[in-house]
Structure 1
Amino acid sequence: MSFKIAFIGAGSIGFTRSLLRDLLAVPKFKDIKVAFTDINANNLEMVTQLCQRDINENGLSISIQATTDRKMALKGAKYIFNVVRIGGLEAFKTDIEIPLKYGIDQCVGDTLSAGGIMYGQRGIAEMLAICKDIREVAAEECLLLNYANPMAMITWACNQYGGVKTIGLCHGVQHGHQQIADVFNLDKQEVDIICAGINHQTWYIQVKHNGVDLTNKVLEAFEKHQEFPKTEKVRIDMLKRFGYYSTESNGHLSEYVPWYRKNPDEILDWIDLGVWINGETGGYLRVCTEGRNWFDIDFPNWMKEPAMEYKQRNRSEEHGSYIIEGLETGRVYRGHFNVINKGIIANLPADSIIEAPGYVDHNGINMPVVGDLPLGCAAVCNVSISVQRLAIEAAVHGDDMLLRQAMMMDSLVGAVCNPNEIWQMVDEMLVAQSEWLPQYKEAVKEAAYRLENNELVPTKDYKGAARLHVKTVEEMALDRDEANINAGEADKAKVRPASK
């Protein structure tokens, strides 16, 4: 088989290298064409060198086409992986630190809340330009596999406004599936699940073992587990109150709803600092910053280490390679995918992006009808979908009034801030991120004027309830294995130490 796969944002070491390994572990893909593109020539060069070394040492003759010319990389591509982070860590830092001035304490800030909404404004603006390039030069029936957050917003915008068939992919369902197996002391392969909702708010609405329904026993099993009552307090509390376990981590989930991070004095009651994803303030920003700094300085040593082996046993749980394998070879694959709803989940909007079980083979990606979500679970999702819709329309049309309304309707922002605070925070974030927000040119000017000339709402010198120190490269060098895992893994919470 010979077809072309392009990676946009290929300077992302974790996703690019691991996704390429997954693809090239498929024997029939030994002759595919691979293109990398990134706006950062230095990151692109390092990742390309590393991946080309892996390819060569696995005895394949593929030569990576690496270029900062996006259209060149996309030309003729049948499949496109999107792993971009628009604005990089510089913009990400403002997603976390400006909201902190207004009392909004985020663990991740890439899906909802103030950070996720602004991340969407940057990402959607650029994704529409990427989609235009795809329509012009990629293969006619190409498929865009989106790994970038905010997952639902970007996938929604690409499908509705970008004119490119897009499927969103995430590893959250796989993580929770493993946890459910763990609490019942079962192998994951023995536990069958149906998980449905929206990305990062997907619910395990059915859990079975050998045909026996365990769904009503999940809460008791989690409460009796040795570790999870310490590390997954928010998820267990949501399970107790809504009846179903949710896919997303303790830290992620805590910032999507209004109850767990609104009072600084209570945040520590709901989180755990054994690993960042359990709720650390700005935790994802910290580990991403440490990982990038480490890779930049330690890259020569990476080139001396053994290459990745392209073997079936080494494939990750990321859906991307299995989807392409199913489409190209007919091998049936079942996963959970982010697609346009179109009635799959009856009590969520038809045009929204939902996450639900799907099957892939030669016939395409097929999504069975789930029906209604439990009413409480649907209510949680519908609140988030309303925020997503406002944020998407704001990003597409450069409408800062819709952007402000998205912030007001967001669960955590609305729980913490009053309208005047939200208006001013949006002004600050528009000005701080202006170079990545071309659609807001006039709004940025007006925001800058107000910040300069109006009487400002007082803000706080607030560092967050659980902000940890960003390690220096010298500190990371004390444990090179841990530093390498952080820099090299797409999933930066794959290894989760015990609670603290």
Structure 2
Amino acid sequence: MTFKIAIIGAGSVGFTRKLFTDILSVPEFQDVEFALTDISEHNLSLIEKLLTRIKETNGLKVRISATTERRKALEGARYILSCVRVGGLEAYADDIRIPLSYGIDQCVGDTICAGGIMYGQRNIPVILDFCRDINAVAETGAKFLNYANPMAMNTWAAIEYGKVDTIGLCHGVQHGGEQIAEILGAGPGELDFICSGINHQTWYVDIRLRGRKIGKDELVAAFEAHPVFSQQEKVRIDVLKRFGFYSTESNGHLSEYLPWYRKRPEEITKWIDMSDWIHGETGGYLRYTTENRNWFETEFPAVLKEAEKPFSQYKRSNEHASHILEALETGRVYRGHFNVKNSGIITNLPSDAIIESPGFVDRFGLNMASGITLPEGCAATCISSINVQRMSVHAAISGDVDLLKLAMLHDPLVGAIASPEEIWQMVDEMLVAQAAWLPQYADAIPAARERLKTPKVKTREWSGSARRAVRSIEELKAEKLAHAS
């Protein structure tokens, strides 16, 4: 088979390498073309060298091109994958730093909460640029597979305003399923589940072990008995006890989507675990991504050497993209959980929302399982986030500062911590700090800058309740050696 796959934001070196090796694990895909594009020539050169090394080492026929001209990369593409981070680590640092000065302690800040809302404001204008190019120069009927956060907002904008056939992809459902399989002692193929909701707040509403339905009490007991998860997943276990259903997202992520676990600084450490960033560390993902960037910059020769291993040693991951392409092109059916417009798929969530729910892919496309009704508590939590997402998308499209501030006001964690006056000033501060990536607010930013000259509320320098410093390359090397031994 010969067709073209474009990867936007291909300078995300590790993730692009995973997508590349996954797709080439499909026997029929040995002669496809990968068109890599990124705004960073440096990052693009790294990933092109890496993938070319894999190709040459293994004698693969795959074609690889790289360009900073996005439209050129999209010409004739049948599939477009996006893993962009608009504003890079510079803007991301502000997503964490500025809210902290108002008492808002985030672990990740890329889905909702203060950081996620602003991330959406930066991303959505760029997503719409992608869609214009896809509609203009890609293959007719091209599919846009979005991996970039904020997942729901980006996918919402691409479908509703970009008018492109879009599927949002995340691995949270798979990872949560792996946890459940481990605590229940399930072997390969022995665990089945239905997981439904919205991205990062998806709920395992039906779990079967070898065909036997697993109830709340058995699941709680299994998690509490696990020596690692009982310490790392305290928020998720507490939510499971109160709601009756386990949530897909990590302890750190989930804690910032709800108004109950991170609002009192003195209590945050009660709910999180510092063994890894994903369990609730303040600004944990910012630290992790910063360390990864530094690692690739300094250790790239070693990474390149690693690419010389035989292709047979690469293990296909559970990321959805390669499986979707395989199903569409070969007809081999794939079942997964996908982010799409609701339109009645989940009966008690709004029809315009982007939901994450089970579906099947084959030659006829994506076929979602419809008619799912969430438990009331799970639906209520999802609806709170959907309301924030909707306002955030509409604000990003229109450049409406008042609507943006209302979205921030209605965010569960932001609203639990900050007063309306604090939120209004915080949004002004974030708009000014990130003006370079917010073209839709160009007319509003001068007024925000003027208001900040006479601030109405005091802020403070605060690193958060559970912050770790970025580790040096030497520290990272020592840790890798310790794990290896």
- TM over 0.5, yes or no? yes
Matched, 1:161 2:164: no
Distance 1:94 1:150, change over 3 A: same
Q: Could you give the per-residue CA deviations for residues 69-108 of structure 1, whole angstroms, max 9, x where no partner exists?
A: 0000000000000000000000000000000000000000
Name 1:26's counterpart in structure 2: 26
What's the counterpart of residue 292 of structure 2?
A: 291
What is the match of residue 460 of structure 1? 460
SS of corresponding position for 1:442: coil
Determine if contact 1:77/1:138 at 8 Å carries over to the other structure: yes
TM-score normalised by structure 2 residue count? 0.97
- Is this contact kept in 2: 1:430–1:447, CA < 8 A? yes
Distance in 2, Cα, partners of 1:480 & 1:58: 27
Deviation per CA, 1:152-196: give whole Å up to 9, x if none.
110010000011111000100011111111111112521100000
Using structure 1 for the length normalisation, give the TM-score. Answer: 0.94
Identity of aligned residues (%): 57
Distance in 1, matches of 2:371 and 2:281, equals: 34
Q: 1:175 matched to which residue of 2?
A: 175
Question: 1:35 and 1:306, CA in 2 relative to 1: closer, same or farther beyond 3 A?
Answer: closer
Matched, 1:262 2:263: yes
Partner-residue secondary structure (3-state), 1:248 = coil
Q: Distance in 2 between matches of 1:280 and 1:141?
A: 42
Whole-angstrom CA distance in 1 between matches of 2:294 and 2:288: 10
Where 1:280 maps in the other structure, the secondary structure is coil
* Residue 229 (structure 1) aligned with residue 227 (structure 2): no
1:84 aligns with 2:79: no
Give structure 2 stretches of 5+ with no counterpart.
none
- Other-structure match for 2:436: 435
Q: Is this contact kept in 2: 1:205–1:215, CA < 8 A?
A: no
Once the two structures are superposed, the pairs formed by residues 366-445 of structure 1 within 5 Å of their partners are 366-445=367-446
For residue 257 of structure 2, give the secondary structure of its aligned residue in structure 1: coil
Q: Does 1:335 align with 2:363?
A: no
Residue 313 of structure 1: CA displacement? 6.5
Deviates more, 1:438-447 or 1:307-316: 307-316
Aligned to 1:218: 219
8 Å contact from structure 2 (residues 341, 353) kept in 1: yes
Following TM superposition, by how much is the alpha carbon of 1:312 offset from its aligned partner in structure 2, in angstroms? 8.9
How many angstroms does 1:308 deviate by? 5.3
Looking at structure 2, the residues matched to 14 and 189 of structure 1 have their Cα atoms a distance apart, in angstroms, of 28
- Opposite residue 267 of structure 1, the aligned amino acid is I
CA contact (8 A) 1:343 1:369 kept: yes
Quote the offset at 1:220 in angstroms: 2.2
5 Å matches for 1:91-110? 91-110=91-110
Task: Show the counterpart of 1:144.
Answer: 144
CA contact (8 A) 1:26 1:312 kept: no
Report the number of matched residues: 483
Deviation at residue 136 of structure 1 after TM alignment: 0.7
Q: Deviations 1:463-498 (Å, cap 9, x if unpaired)?
A: 100000101223223245699x9xxxxxxxxxxxxx
Contact 1:202 1:246 in 2 (8 A): yes
Partner residue of 1:202?
Answer: 202
Root mean square deviation of aligned Cα: 1.4
Q: Partner residue of 1:347?
A: 348
Partner of 2:476: 476
1:212 is displaced (CA, Å) by 1.1
Q: Secondary structure at the match of 1:314?
A: coil
Say if 1:250 and 1:271, in contact at 8 Å, map to a contact too: yes
Q: Deviations over 1:366-416 (max 9, x none)?
A: 101142100000000000000000000000111111110010000000000
Distance in 2 between residues matched to 1:118 and 1:10, nearest whole Å: 22
Q: Distance in 1 between matches of 2:110 and 2:338?
A: 19
**Does the Cα contact within 8 Å between 2:21 and 2:314 map onto a contact in 1?**
no
Partner of 1:122: 122
Tell me which amino acid in the other structure corresponds to 1:169.
L
Question: In structure 2, do the counterparts of structure 1 residues 482 and 90 end up closer, same or farther at CA, with 3 Å as the change threshold?
Answer: farther
Aligned to 1:250: 251
Cα 1:183/1:50, change in 2 over 3 Å: same
Q: Which amino acid aligns with 1:89?
A: L
- Residue 210 of structure 1: how far off its partner (Å): 2.1
Pair 1:360 & 2:370 matched = no
Tell me which residue corresponds to 1:495: none
1:52–1:63 CA contact under 8 A, matched in 2: no
Gaps of at least 5 residues in structure 1 are: 486-500
Shift of 1:130: 1.1
Alpha-carbon distance in 1 for matches of 2:482, 2:451: 46
State the alpha-carbon separation in 2 of the partners of residues 313 and 183 from structure 1.
Answer: 27
Shift of residue 296, structure 1, vs aligned partner: 0.8
> Cα offset for 1:305?
2.7
Segment drifting more, 182-191 vs 372-381: 182-191
Q: Structure 1: how far apart are the matches of 2:304 and 2:435?
A: 37
The within-5 A match list for 1:180-199 is 180-199=180-199
Q: Take 2:444 and 2:471, find their aligned partners in 1: how far apart are those partners?
A: 37
Structure 1 window deviating more from structure 2 (219-228 vs 77-86): it is 219-228
Deviation larger for 317-326 or 208-217: 208-217
Is the Cα contact below 8 Å between 1:36 and 1:67 reproduced in 2?
Answer: yes
1:310 CA drift (Å): 3.7
